[in-house]
Amino acid sequence: MRDILVSCIVPVFNGERFLASAVASIQAQRVPDREIIVVDDGSTDTTPAVIADFGPSVRSIRQANQGPAAARNAGVSLARGSFIAFLDADDCWVPDKLERQLARFRARPELEISFAHFRNVQAEDSIAGDPLLDPALWPVSPFSPCSFLGRRAVFETVGLFDPTLHTGEDTDWFMRAMVRGLCYEVMPDVLVERRIHRRNLSRSNPPSHATVLKTIKQVLDRRRAEGW
């Protein structure tokens, strides 16, 4: 079996409308030594049929619905790559996303995690005039799993995503990584397109300021208890 450079993990739940184009954006990457792993988190729509259409070019597993943290963890457990990347099923990468981030790891051997910026785009099912679906009003923090590229070893240091968290699980993980002093950078490049639509998880279950603060406190409490 040949070596895999990057494992690209796509968690999906009822993503029949967008999954194919998300996977296509990974297949368009100019990095041949990569694998695509789709984790179906208990979809009840035609997502399994969409996955079947990919054929052997995509590895896939199906599990009972447990949330995005558990789905990403399942992908990491299957990954064979030296690097791990995530893409939500309703988002897309620009064609040279992986290439540009990998160049940063070559330029900085000490680098462990790379983030990049993203832009919000309106999906075709959006309603004109709906302020909740105006891409300009959505946050654009670069600390998103979809912009993340990290060495596989960081998961041995930080651990996996907390599956008990159904919102803020990415904030929890990034905080754990940062308080451990992992070397990371945020590229100024826009490498991800986030599609804004009616069923965005962050719209139906948005993290509140209280939730974020609670997550930060839990990480700091855990750090003190475990002596990080």
**CATH number of the domain within which 59 lies:** 3.90.550.10
**pLDDT number for residue 209:** 44
State how many domains the chain has. 1
- Write down the pLDDT at residue 14: 96
Q: In which residue are the tokens 């998103």 written? A: 144
> Is 105 part of any domain?
yes
pLDDT at 208 over 60: no
Q: Find the helix or strand (DSSP H, E) in which 187 lies.
A: strand 184-196
> Does 8 have pLDDT greater than 60?
yes
Using 50, 70 and 90 to split pLDDT, how confident is the model at 135? Answer: very low
- CB-CB contact of 138 with 213 (8 Å): no
| Dihedral sign for Cα atoms in the order 19, 22, 27, 32 | negative
Over residues 107-133, the mean pLDDT reads: 77
Q: Is residue 37 part of a domain?
A: yes
Q: Are 94 and 190 in contact (CB under 8 A)?
A: yes
Structural domain contains residue 206: yes
pLDDT, tens only, 54-63? 999 999 999 9
Structural domain span for residue 108: 6-226
pLDDT (mean) for 138-154 = 84
The pLDDT confidence band at residue 119, using thresholds 50, 70 and 90, is confident
Contact 11, 86 (CB under 8 A): yes
For residue 226, pLDDT beyond 80? no
Residues of the chain with pLDDT > 90: what percent? 70
What is the token pair recorded at 192?
Answer: 């991800």
Exposed, middle or buried: residue 36 (CB in 10 Å: 0-12, 13-18, 19+)? buried
Higher confidence at residue 184 or residue 3? 184
Which whole number is the average pLDDT over 126-139? 49
Question: What is the mean pLDDT of the segment spanning 65-69?
Answer: 96
Helices 169-179 and 209-226, axial angle in degrees (round to 10): 40
Q: Average of pLDDT values for 66-71?
A: 97
In a domain, 1, yes or no: no
Give the per-residue pLDDT at 34. Answer: 96
pLDDT of residue 78: 97
Asked whether the predicted pLDDT for residue 163 surpasses 70, the reply is: yes
**Residue 164 — pLDDT band, cuts 50, 70, 90?**
very high
**205 — phi, psi (to 5°)?**
-140, 65
Q: Which pLDDT does position 130 carry in this prediction?
A: 53
Q: Please say if the pLDDT value at position 225 is more than 70.
A: no
Given pLDDT bands bounded at 50, 70 and 90, which one contains residue 221? low
- Name 169's Cβ contacts closer than 8 Å, sequence gap at least 6: 67, 68, 69, 161, 162, 163
Q: Does residue 98 or residue 119 have the better pLDDT?
A: 98
